[in-house]
Every structure is written in structure tokens, then in C-alpha cells.
A and B are shown apart, each in its own frame.
Chain A
Amino acid sequence: MSKPVIATASLAGCFGCHMSILDIDERILDLIELVEFDKSPIDDIKNFSRPVDIGLIEGGCCNSENVEVLRAFRKNCRILISVGECAIMGGLPAMRNTIPLRECLEEAYLHSPTVAPEDAVIPHDEELPLILNRAYPCHEIVKVDYFLPGCPPNADLIWEALTALLQGRPLKIDYPILKYD
């Protein structure tokens, strides 16, 4: 039987959650015995080459490209996991959610003290993904199967979740490894 396949993506995140995946340290050697990686920034594979068993999503959705990638993951992955606060609740990018989009953009690109008045313009190049009215948690866009909180999630939590899934056993979370910060 071929090995289970994992794919990962960073949407509106900071790559901290990916760092935490690497933080499983030498267990990464065990992980590559257990699974294969497909599309992921870790191996720099850009496109899906086959159906994936577990998709790990870091970051929520801030723009049209995030939504597109997330939908492609949902389509290609049997199990989808939101990894970290941004994927689960929008995280830091969602701090703008209480402020109307126009107000945010004007503050950042027109009125901020570091903007030179002669170049003050709100970016609108058609090459740029369209910014959404607010940051969305992933499960408000597609169905998400599991959630691993933390900013970033503790490496032991990620490891426990992956091994539990691969071995088909229930998750057992030790109290100290579940944190929201």
C-alpha cells in the first residue's frame, strides 16, 4: 500500500505554523517514513500531483487567491485541518474585521505617516488578488474537518494529531500542549 499523502498551504498566515510543523525536530525523520508530501512550501511543489489524504491549512482568507487555494485544497484533500489561530478565527489579519475595508485601506495607503503624499494610492493593479471585505476563518469558506489551535500550535499537538490520524486512534491531548497563544 502506498503511503498517505500530506499537502500544506499558508494562506493569510505568517509561516509560524509551518515553522511549528518543523519544530517536531527529529520526529520529522519518522514523519517522512510514514507519509509523502505533495503540494507544500516545505518541498516547494507548486501543484497537486495526486489526491491527498491530509491537507494542513495555515492562515485564514484575506483575498481572492486565499479562497481559490483553500477551495483547491478542499477538492483535493480527503481530510482538511485548520492549523493555528489565523486559520481558525482569522487571527491577526482579522483585527481589521471590526473596521470597514475602505477605512483600513485609506489609513494604510493614504493617511499613514510613512506615506509620501505624491505616491499616495490604494493598490488596485489587476495582477493583485482582490482583497476581501474582511478576513475569514477557513471553515466559513469550506468545510474543515479538524482544528488545531495555537499561535502557533505546539509541535507536540501537531505531532499527536498527525499520528492519531495516521494510526486511526482518538486524539489524546495533554493539558499543557493545547494553548491559544
Chain B
Amino acid sequence: MPEKIKFFIDGKECLAERGQTIYEAAKANGVYIPILCHFEGLKPVGSCRICSVRVNGRWMASCTQPVTEGMMVENQTPEVEEYRKAIIEMLFVEGNHFCPTCEKSGNCELQALAYRYQIMVPRFPYLFPRKDVEAFPTFLLDHNRCVQCRRCVRAIETKDGRKIFAMKNRSGQVRINVDRKLAAKMSEEEAQKAMEICPVGAILKKEVGFKVPIGKRKYDFKPIGSEIEEKSEGVKNE
């Protein structure tokens, strides 16, 4: 068995495989670190910074940073949690997030993070940017709700390995750009996969909106991350 390395999250002793990221190792130890741009199985890019932790006074993205021996990670400290909350609030005001009208509501990861942190109102002014909605035969792309996580860019390809989604422009002008010819050929299954990859209601498969009733949606009763934390409680109770 390969030798494990010891590290600490908020004082709790944890074990990690060599080369494992802080996020992955935390999860294996039953500690939830919130993520948004990262998705299981994709190469992490550390772009949204919601998984930020502090180590030795320095901020780092836990989805890309590997664990080192004896590392002391600050995760649920007031300062770290406040920093994450501010990012979530920024994402809300930078787009147009009208949750009551959104098909993803209840299953949306951005909204679920805001619920977990019990955000009542963003501290920043709403920007109400003018954005458009693009329609394709099997899905919609609503730029009002895109958080530029690049999950779709990383995960969605044609069978012969061509990218369908890409990033265009920089900074405040950044937007997802679609290869319209390839997007027009996306099957129902591919649209379904794209919708599932997208953390928010930016990519929506057509004709299935509001299918899951209120009370049956993913984040109606349990906060995002509780599946990881419950596992660790289970271990404790054994």
C-alpha cells in the first residue's frame, strides 16, 4: 500500500494519497469544501475560487493544490467562509439570476451554495447586464445565467473529439461561444449530458423544464455538501 501523508483541516487530522488535491483529500476524509467550476472527472482549472482555503496565511484553490505533509488547511473559519460568500454574491449580481423563473431552480449548484451560506441579499449592487439566449435543436444556452465555469468547454466533445463550446473575449466581456454547426447536431443524450455538466441553468435541454416538482428537487431539503459530511458522521457513529 502506498504511504499516506498526514495533514490537518481546521485542526482535524486527515490522511491523503500523495499527489491528491486538498479538495479530493478533504472529501475522502468526510470534509466538504464547496466547489463550483470543478466537476468530478474533469481536469480542475481553479477558476471560480469558491474552493479557496488558507494555508500558512496564503490563499489557494483546493481543487488544484496538492496536499503536502503536515499541511494546516483553514476551511470553515469565518474569514474563509466570508470570502467564499462574497464570490457567490458576485456571481449573482454579475448575471441575471431570476430564480423564480429558472428551470434549474432547486437543482442549481450556485443557488444551493447560496442556500448553504444562507445568503439573504448580495452585498453588491445588481448589474443587470444585457445578455442573450441562443436556441439549438435540442437545447438552449442562456447567457444570463452562465457563470463561466468552463465545465462545458472541458466536458463536451463530438464523437471524433471536437470541442463544441469555447470561451470568447476576456474579463468582463467573456462569454461562452458555441460552434453552431456542431451544436445543431447534438443529440438528446448529448444535450442531457451538457445540461447535467452545467452547474446552473445556462444549458437547458429543451422540453423537459420543471419536470421535477418542488419538494423532489436535489437541494430542497439537504444542503449541498451534506452527502460528504454525512459520510464522515457515519464513520464516527460506527
Write the residues of chain A forming the contact surface with B, with a CB cutoff of 8 angstroms.
82, 85, 88-92, 94-95, 97-99, 134, 137, 139-140, 146-149, 151, 173, 175-176, 178-181
* Distance, CA A173 to CA B120, complexed state (A): 11
In the complex, residue of chain B having the shortest beta-carbon distance to the beta carbon of A82: B121
* Distance, CA A94 to CA B96, complexed state (A): 9
Do A147 and B98 contact each other (CB < 8 Å), given the known contacts A134-B128, A140-B125? no
Question: Are B115 and A178 closer than 8 Å at their CB atoms?
Answer: yes
User: Shortest beta-carbon distance, B196 to chain A, in Å?
Assistant: 20
Interface residues of B in 21-51 (CB under 8 A from A): none
Count of B residues near A, CB < 8 Å?
26
In the complex, residue of chain B having the shortest beta-carbon distance to the beta carbon of A95: B98
* Distance, CA A98 to CA B98, complexed state (A): 12
Question: Are A181 and B100 closer than 8 Å at their CB atoms?
Answer: yes
Q: What residues on B are CB-neighbors of A173 within 8 Å?
A: 118
Q: What residues on A are CB-neighbors of B144 within 8 Å?
A: 98
Write the residues of chain B forming the contact surface with A, with a CB cutoff of 8 angstroms.
96, 98-102, 105-106, 111, 114-115, 118, 120-121, 125-126, 128-131, 144, 214, 220-223
Out of A92, A134, A137, A148, name the residue touching B98 (CB < 8 Å): A92
Q: What residues on B are CB-neighbors of A137 within 8 Å?
A: 126
* Distance, CA A129 to CA B69, complexed state (A): 67
User: Shortest beta-carbon distance, B94 to chain A, in Å?
Assistant: 13
Question: Are A180 and B101 closer than 8 Å at their CB atoms?
Answer: no
Q: What residues on A are CB-neighbors of B120 within 8 Å?
A: 88, 146-149
**Could you jot down 13 A-B contacts, CB within 8 Å?**
A88-B120, A94-B98, A98-B96, A98-B130, A98-B131, A99-B130, A139-B121, A151-B100, A175-B223, A178-B118, A181-B99, A181-B100, A181-B105
Max chain B CB contacts within 10 Å: which of A95, A98, A181? A181
In the complex, residue of chain A having the shortest beta-carbon distance to the beta carbon of B125: A140
Out of B102, B106, B115, name the residue touching A175 (CB < 8 Å): B115
* Distance, CA A181 to CA B108, complexed state (A): 12
User: Shortest beta-carbon distance, B191 to chain A, in Å?
Assistant: 23
User: Shortest beta-carbon distance, A88 to chain B, in Å?
Assistant: 5
Do A176 and B99 contact each other (CB < 8 Å), given the known contacts A98-B128, A98-B130, A137-B126? no
User: Shortest beta-carbon distance, A23 to chain B, in Å?
Assistant: 15
* Distance, CA A175 to CA B130, complexed state (A): 33
